[in-house]
Chain A
Amino acid sequence: MASIQITESTKSYGNTAVLHGIDLNIQNGEFIVLVGPSGCGKSTLLRMIAGLEEVTSGSISINERIINDLPPRDRDIAMVFQSYALYPHMSVEENISYAMTLRKSPKEKIASAVNGVSSILGLNGLLERRPKALSGGQRQRVAMGRAIVRDPQAFLFDEPLSNLDARLREQMRSEIRKLHRKLNATSIYVTHDQIEAMTMADRIVAMHDGYIQQVGTPLEIYDKPALKSSHSTGLISLKARRFTCLTLKKSCICLMLGQKCGWSLLYKFP
């Protein structure tokens, strides 16, 4: 398990700056959700932590060790991609065990790890299949399995649920939370979905235009959104939506009452 510190980190492509002086301290075992509109730099930040993008300036450290120049394979982190990124020419079992095979773990250890993961995620009957023979939800589970089998320092999730249908998403949301509670691994989760952010996060990091606007627990952000962060997360619109819902309900009731009492003449529709 690990704590992650991001200090004064920036990212630019040529002259275009996409992240400006990001400062963030992530505690050991915390579930952090980066939320914001698309193009706000949340995925870039995640990829910088993974080592898939270089840090232009500033530093990122895991357990107080600066990892800026460490290649992804040496960072001991696992990542779940939005597209799942399963290896199509390997079976589910090979997909899950790939990282351990690369690290030359003993065969018995790999087998027991794969078994453990597949029973946690309900993949037992699917181990021989290729990814193309799986449904979207099953693929998502395999991607999760591939991440947790390694017992990494930290998990990174890049909008892992956005390709699932609403019901499955809800189910996976609670499963990911359950897994997190069980493994208690530091997790960073990127999403643009405010409900995901609200329901899953220990702390939410609201981002906009390459800046962190606000960091806080879901309730803090919901109750006292910084003006800018409310734009970025759309949380105020959540509140607003609830309000409109109420007023709508009221007016509907009025309308129905009105019709019942023969007040419909009072309403003039254009």
Chain B
Amino acid sequence: MAYYAKSKGQRVVDWSVHYGLLACYLFFALFPLFWLFKVAVTPTKLLYSEGIRMWPSEMTWTNFTQVMTDTDFPQFFINSAIVSGSTAFISTLIAAAAGYSFSRFHYRGKAVIIVLMLVTQMFPLVMLIAPIFRILTPLGLTDSLLGLVVVYTAFNVPFATFLMQSFFDGIPKDLEEAAMIDGNTRFGALVKIIFPLTLPGIAATLGFVFTAAWSELLFALMLVSSPDAVTFPVGLLTFVSKFSVDFGQMMAAGFLALIPAAIFFFLIQRYLVQGLTAGAVKG
């Protein structure tokens, strides 16, 4: 049924259902963030005494200042930023190269490589921790940020590759052939024509790998023990002691940890918007 044929009442109903569902989803997605912030600004003495309220009767920033000054959190942040940033950069670089080759070339063993990459995604990570620990120890890569980058890169590259491949598949082959006839080498065509068109894909892959590495707990917990190399998800656990949990500081730290991810997505969001290839070919 054509949209314009609907009566006004029908349209109001449609509109309400549409936005009602969106509102439900937004509430579901954003409420935990709100609660995180609310607990972070609640003074510790009121946390248990006030009962459940949407906003505390008194607000404080002490949890934030304490986290920044009295704990190792700044160090954890820096560690996390280094690990996630490097992982995102290296994984995306490898994934882009691999994805391009899968998308454009035919060669012997391609199918085998793709299947092997799929197989790596089939095992639960828990199964792999012991062997990975055994491999990394003699190499001196446990308890170091480099070790984490290596492991995260290894685990993120397969999925990132498939993601990049699908973006390359979406760019018509004709474009680089035209560029090659116009006077480019294949690599030149890749850099000057294909790369600018793949920016949304690269942004999406960067974002995906960055967040995966930013919030990874299991490997960080198992492979790292010295405070110099602890990332923030592991650092959050330091607020859990044997007898109590310091919720206020934990939430403040969690809220601070969201900021870099938010900034990162803010920077790449304009590339996430698809549609750059519109008009390249017929249609």
Contact = CB atoms under 8 A, between A and B. Distances in A.
The answer to whether A and B assemble together is yes
Interface of A: 50-52, 71-73, 75, 77-79, 81-89, 98-99, 102-103, 130-134, 136, 139, 146, 150, 163
A88 B181 contact: no
Interface stretch (B23-31, B233-241, B243-251, B273-281): B273-281
B197 A52 contact: no
Contacts of B193: 87
18 contacts: A50-B177, A50-B181, A51-B180, A51-B181, A52-B180, A72-B180, A77-B181, A79-B178, A82-B174, A83-B282, A85-B172, A85-B280, A87-B179, A87-B280, A88-B278, A103-B183, A130-B279, A146-B182
Interface in B162-216: 172, 174-175, 177-185, 188, 193, 196-197
A134 B281 contact: no
Contacts of B180: 51-52, 71-73
Given A85-B172, A85-B175, A87-B175, A73 B184 contact: yes
A79 B181 contact: yes
B197 A85 contact: no
B96 to A, nearest CB: 17
Nearest to B281: A83
Contacts of A81: 174, 177-178
Interface string B249-283: 00000000000000000000000000011111110
B177 A88 contact: no
Contacts of A78: 181
Best-buried of B175, B193, B282 by chain A (most CB within 10 Å): B282
Contact of B279 (A71, A73, A82, A139): A139
A86 B280 contact: yes
Contact of B278 (A75, A99, A132): A132
Contact of A102 (B175, B184, B276): B184
Contacts of A99: 182-183
Highest count of chain A CB atoms <10 Å: which of B174, B182, B276, B277: B182
The A interface is mostly helix, strand or loop, or mixed, namely loop
A88 B282 contact: no
A84 B177 contact: no
Nearest to A77: B181
A184 to B, nearest CB: 21
B281 A84 contact: yes
Which interface residue of A85, A89, A134 has the most chain B CB atoms within 10 A?
A: A85
Contacts of B182: 73, 98-99, 102, 146, 150
Contacts of B175: 85, 87
Interface in B115-165: none
Contacts of A139: 279, 282
Nearest to A132: B279
Contacts of B172: 83, 85
B279 A85 contact: no
A87 B189 CA distance: 11
A246 to B, nearest CB: 37
B277 A88 contact: yes
Question: A-B pairs with the 3 shortest C-beta distances?
Answer: A132-B279, A83-B281, A85-B174
A245 B277 CA distance: 46
A187 to B, nearest CB: 15
A27 to B, nearest CB: 23
Contacts of B280: 83-88, 131-132
